[in-house]
């Protein structure tokens, strides 16, 4: 269903039904102290990343990068936003085979060659059901605790996904 030209989930079972932009929302930005962590997804011509910090066991998602063409462009964008910071990157497992730059090296090698990046890569992505369960537990766990907050103003695409993703 579309309202004002935008997709709206009216009937599907919402994957992240515990997410609430008020209760999970925050205005927290980079505190310049805690390390930066970046989860990165490799889509052709539409790479995206979420930037977060962990404070007192709470994941604070402070920024997102969307619509980036390729890995070199993503690296440039990260450096322009977070110059001089040590950064941990968690790419999806597709990075080990993907070559977006056409330079004969994989995206993982491009990321690892950046001296300010520490790349934490796995050989395979976890099962989707496990990824969903992890995020659901961070959004709202069985004890009613919310361990993930999102800067709603700076992360509109992530918020839209958390609110509208259906099974």
Token pair recorded at residue 140: 């709202």
Per-residue pLDDT, 17 = 92
Stated pTM of the model: 0.87
Please state, as a whole number, how many other Cβ atoms lie within 10 Å of the Cβ of residue 128: 9
Does residue 55 contact residue 69 with C-beta atoms inside 8 Å? Answer: no
Q: What is the pLDDT of residues 101-124, one digit of tens each?
A: 565 678 888 888 888 899 999 889
- Place 89 in a pLDDT band, splitting at 50, 70 and 90: very high
Cα(139)–Cα(145) distance, rounded to whole angstroms? Answer: 8
Per-residue pLDDT, 80 = 96
Q: What is the pLDDT of residues 42-88, one digit of tens each?
A: 877 789 999 999 999 999 999 999 999 999 999 999 999 999 898 99
């Amino acid at each position: 269903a579309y309202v004002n030209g935008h997709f709206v989930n009216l009937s599907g079972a919402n994957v992240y039904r515990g997410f609430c932009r008020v209760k999970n929302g925050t205005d927290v930005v980079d505190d310049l102290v805690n390390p930066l962590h970046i989860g990165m997804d490799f889509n052709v011509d539409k790479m995206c990343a979420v930037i977060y910090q962990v404070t007192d066991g709470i994941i604070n998602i402070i920024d997102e990068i969307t619509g980036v063409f390729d890995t070199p462009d993503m690296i440039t964008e990260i450096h322009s936003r977070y110059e001089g910071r040590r950064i941990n990157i968690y790419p999806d497992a597709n990075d080990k085979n993907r070559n977006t730059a056409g330079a004969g090296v994989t995206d993982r090698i491009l990321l690892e060659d950046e001296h300010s990046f520490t790349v934490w890569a796995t050989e395979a992505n976890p099962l989707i059901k496990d990824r969903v369960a992890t995020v659901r537990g961070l959004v709202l766990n069985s004890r009613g605790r919310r361990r993930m907050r999102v800067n709603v103003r700076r992360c509109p695409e992530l918020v839209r996904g958390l609110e509208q993703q259906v099974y």
